[in-house]
C-alpha cells in the first residue's frame, strides 16, 4: 500500500496514528504527539513500508514489542539536516550584531537546541575563537536523538563535504582558512580538539524536558517548523525561561516569534536572520 502525500487522512487512520503516538509516549517516554501531522504521517508510512506492514496498528504492535523497531521509527521522526555554517548569512549577522555584546561578558553560555550531528555547534566554536571569545564560552549542544549525538561526539565529518563547508565558512565571514580548523584522518575531516573542548553534547527533548541552565544565547534553527502551535508555544516558553536578561535568541528563516505570546518579550536584532534580544 502506498500513501499519496496529498491524500486526506481518514478518521480511522487518524485514530491509529494518535494511538501510536500515545503508546510511544506512555511506553517509551518520547513525545511526538504535537508534531505536524503531515510530517509524522509521512514518516510512519515510510517505516510501515520498510517493515512490510499494512496498517498503523500493525506498526504499533511491532514498536511496542520490539525496541529495535521503536529505535528505527524514532530515528525516522528525528529531523537531522545540518551542515557547517548552514545559512552563512545568519553567522555573518551573528558576528556583526551579537558578538560585540558578548565581548563584555565574563563567561558565555550558549545552547544549540536540536543540534543534530553538531556541525553548527562547531561552526559557532570557530566563529567565537576568531572573535577571541571561545576560551570563556561553554556551548551546550542538545538533541533528542542519541544516535546523532554519538556522531557529533566523533568530532569529524565526511571529507567530501569539505569544499561546500569551506564555501559556507567564507560566506559566513570567516577570517582565516577552514583548513586551519581541520585535520584529515582516514578519509574524514576532523575538527581540531580545542574546538570540541568547549562543546558539551547531551540528550534533551524539547517536547518533554525542562530548562537545565541559564543561557546568554539560544539557537534553535529549523526545528520548530515540524511542531504544531501547541508545542511551539511550549518551546518558546522554555527558551524565554532559559534566556538570561538581555539574552539572544536565534531561529531559522521559516520560524518567528511573531504571532506568539512572546512577541513583546524580544527586540528584533536582525529580522531577516531571525535574531532577537530578550527585553522582558
Same domain? 189 vs 261: yes
Ramachandran bin of 85, using left for φ above 0, alpha for ψ from -120 to 50, beta for the remaining angles? left
Query: 163 Cβ partners below 8 Å, 6+ apart?
Result: none
Same domain? 66 vs 204: no
Give the domain CATH number at 238.
3.40.50.150
- Is residue 3 in a domain? no
All three cell numbers of 243:
534566556
- Is residue 143 in a domain? yes
Same domain? 116 vs 245: yes
- Is residue 32 in a domain? yes
Question: Residues 17, 55: contact at Cβ < 8 Å?
Answer: no
Residue where one domain finishes, among candidates 29, 52, 77: 77
Q: Give bridge partners of residue 278 from the DSSP assignment.
A: 266
Same domain? 241 vs 115: yes
Same domain? 46 vs 154: no
- Is residue 231 in a domain? yes
Interval 264-277: pLDDT, tens: 999 999 878 999 99
Same domain? 72 vs 199: no
- Is residue 213 in a domain? yes
Whose cell is 524565554? That residue is 240
- Is residue 2 in a domain? no
- Is residue 106 in a domain? yes
Same domain? 97 vs 62: no
Q: Which residues of the chain have pLDDT under 50?
A: 1-2
Q: Output phi, psi for 226, to 5 deg.
A: -95, 0
Q: Which helix (H) or strand (E) holds 99?
A: helix 99-102
pLDDT score for 1: 46
pLDDT score for 78: 80
Same domain? 171 vs 267: yes
Same domain? 93 vs 206: yes
Full residue range of the structural domain in which residue 69 is found? 11-77
Q: How many domains does the chain have?
A: 2
Residue where one domain finishes, among candidates 77, 108, 133: 77
Helix, strand, coil content of the chain in percent (nearest 5): 50, 20, 35
Q: What totals of helices (H) and strands (E) does the chain contain, helices first?
A: 11, 10
Residue where one domain finishes, among candidates 56, 77, 98: 77
- Is residue 94 in a domain? yes
Task: Find, among 154, 153, 150, 170, the residue nearest to 162 by Cα.
Answer: 170
Same domain? 265 vs 154: yes
Same domain? 119 vs 181: yes
CA distances from residue 198 to 96, 102, 125, 135, 249 in whole angstroms, order as listed: 22, 16, 7, 8, 20
pLDDT score for 105: 97
Interval 140-187: pLDDT, tens: 999 999 889 999 999 999 999 999 999 999 999 999 999 999 999 888
Distance separating alpha carbons of residues 123 and 148, to the nearest angstrom: 17
pTM across the whole model: 0.88
Same domain? 16 vs 130: no
Amino acid at each position: 500500500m502506498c500513501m499519496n502525500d496529498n491524500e486526506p487522512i481518514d478518521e480511522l487512520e487518524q485514530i491509529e496514528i494518535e494511538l501510536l503516538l500515545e503508546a510511544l509516549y506512555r511506553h517509551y517516554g518520547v513525545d511526538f504527539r504535537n508534531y505536524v501531522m503531515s510530517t509524522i504521517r509521512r514518516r510512519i508510512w515510510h517505516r510501515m513500508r520498510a517493515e512490510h506492514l499494512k496498517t498503523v496498528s500493525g506498526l504499533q504492535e511491532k514498536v511496542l514489542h520490539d525496541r529495535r523497531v521503536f529505535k528505527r521509527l524514532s530515528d525516522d521522526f528525528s529531523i537531522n539536516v545540518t551542515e557547517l555554517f548552514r545559512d552563512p548569512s545568519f553567522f555573518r549577522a551573528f558576528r556583526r550584531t551579537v558578538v560585540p555584546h558578548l565581548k563584555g561578558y565574563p563567561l558565555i553560555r550558549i545552547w544549540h537546541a536540536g543540534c543534530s550531528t553538531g556541525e553548527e555547534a562547531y561552526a559557532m566554536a570557530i566563529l567565537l575563537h576568531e572573535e577571541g571569545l571561545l576560551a570563556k564560552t561553554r556551548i551546550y549542544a542538545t538533541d533528542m536523538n542519541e544516535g546523532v549525538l554519538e556522531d557529533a561526539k566523533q568530532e569529524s565529518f565526511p571529507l567530501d563535504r569539505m569544499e561546500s563547508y569551506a564555501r559556507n565558512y567564507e560566506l559566513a565571514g570567516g577570517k582565516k582558512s577552514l583548513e586551519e580548523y581541520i585535520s584529515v584522518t582516514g578519509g574524514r575531516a576532523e575538527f581540531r580538539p580545542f574546538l570540541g573542548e568547549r562543546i558539551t553534547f547531551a540528550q534533551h527533548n524539547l517536547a518533554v524536558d525542562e530548562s537545565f541552565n541559564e543561557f546568554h544565547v539560544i539557537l534553535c534553527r529549523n526545528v520548530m517548523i515540524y511542531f504544531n502551535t501547541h508545542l511551539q508555544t511550549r518551546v518558546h516558553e522554555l527558551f524565554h525561561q532559559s534566556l538570561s536578561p538581555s539574552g539572544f535568541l536565534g531561529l531559522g528563516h521559516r520560524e518567528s516569534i511573531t504571532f506568539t505570546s512572546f512577541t513583546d518579550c524580544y527586540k528584533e536584532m536582525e529580522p531577516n536572520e531571525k535574531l532577537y534580544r530578550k527585553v522582558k
